[in-house]
A and B are shown apart, each in its own frame.
Chain A
Amino acid sequence: MSEVRDVVIIGSGPAGLTAAIYTARANLRPLVIEGAPSSSSDQPGGQLMLTTEVENYPGFVNGIQGPELMANFRAQAARFGAELLTEKVTRVDLSAPPFGVWVGDDEFRARAVIVSTGARSLMLGLENERKLLGYGVSTCATCDGFFFRDQEIAVVGGGDSALEEALFLTKFATLVTVVHRRSELRASKIMQDRAFRNDRITFAWNSVVTDVLGDGLLRGITLRNTVTGEESELPVGGLFVAIGHVPNTDLFTGQLDMDDAGYLITEAGSTRTNVPGVFASGDVQDHVYRQAITAAGSGCMAAIDAERWLEAQPEQAIEMATPTNW
Chain B
Amino acid sequence: MATDIITALTDSTFDEAVASSTEPLLVDFWAEWCGPCKLIAPVLEQIATENAGALRIAKVDVDQNQQIARRFDVMSIPTLILFKDGIPQLRVVGAKGKGQLLEELKAFL
Contacts and interface: CB of A to CB of B under 8 A. Distances in A.
Contact of B36 (A87, A88, A134, A140): A140
B35 A50 contact: yes
Interface residues of A, number: 30
A170 interface: no
Most buried by A among B37, B77, B100: B77
Contact of B34 (A36, A104, A143): A143
B10 interface: no
B43 A143 contact: no
Nearest to B74: A147
A74 B33 CA distance: 19
Interface string B94-105: 111111100000
B95 A144 contact: no
A67 interface: yes
Interface string B69-98: 000011111110000000000000111111
Contact of B75 (A44, A104, A142, A144): A144
Contacts of B40: 37
A196 interface: no
B15 interface: no
Given A36-B100, A37-B97, A135 B73 contact: yes
B95 A37 contact: yes
A16 interface: no
Contacts of A86: 42
A82 B78 CA distance: 29
A298 interface: no
A190 B14 CA distance: 46
Nearest to A217: B73
Nearest to A34: B39
A221 interface: no
A136 interface: yes
Given A67-B38, A142-B33, A143-B37, A37 B96 contact: yes
Interface in A22-49: 36-40, 43-45, 49
A66 B78 CA distance: 18
A249 interface: no
Interface residues of B, number: 28
A144 B35 CA distance: 11
Interface string A254-285: 00000000000000000000000000000000
B48 interface: no
The secondary-structure label for the interface of chain A is loop
B36 A39 contact: yes
B97 A36 contact: yes
Contact of A39 (B43, B94, B98): B94
A37 B45 CA distance: 14
Contacts of B63: 146
A134 B96 contact: no
Contacts of A38: 36, 39, 94-97
Given A37-B97, A134-B94, A43 B75 contact: no
B17 interface: no
Contacts of B78: 39, 143
B8 interface: no
A139 interface: yes
B99 A36 contact: yes
Given A37-B36, A146-B31, 11 more contacts: A36-B97, A66-B35, A67-B38, A133-B76, A140-B36, A142-B34, A143-B34, A143-B77, A144-B75, A146-B33, A147-B76
